[in-house]
Amino acid sequence: MPKIHKYSNSDSIYIKARHQGRMTTYQVTPRGAESLKRHGARPGGGITADDLISLIASGDAYTGKSGPGMVTGNTITAPHSRPARTVH
């Protein structure tokens, strides 16, 4: 389950999620952080994979192009035409 973390030197948050056995860190925009807060999500807590995918699709969670691939529907497709995989 993706988990919300707070940076130690600011009020900003980030999300860590496991994808294909590897951890990926997603930065969260202020708008994304506010949306999570409105829905009761807080640092230390988890969110659903669908919530993370929605944040990625809206541009409110991102990896700076170092992440696992492209978002399509409820899956993230790995780079270089690999089969689509669902985030856990």
Question: Strand, coil or helix: what is 8?
Answer: coil
pLDDT tens digits, 44-79: 999 999 999 999 999 999 987 655 455 555 454 444
Do residues 69 and 77 touch, judged by C-beta distance below 8 A? yes
Q: Say what the pLDDT of residue 82 is.
A: 38
Total number of domains in the chain:
1
Q: Say what the pLDDT of residue 79 is.
A: 43
Domain extent, residue 76, equals 3-85
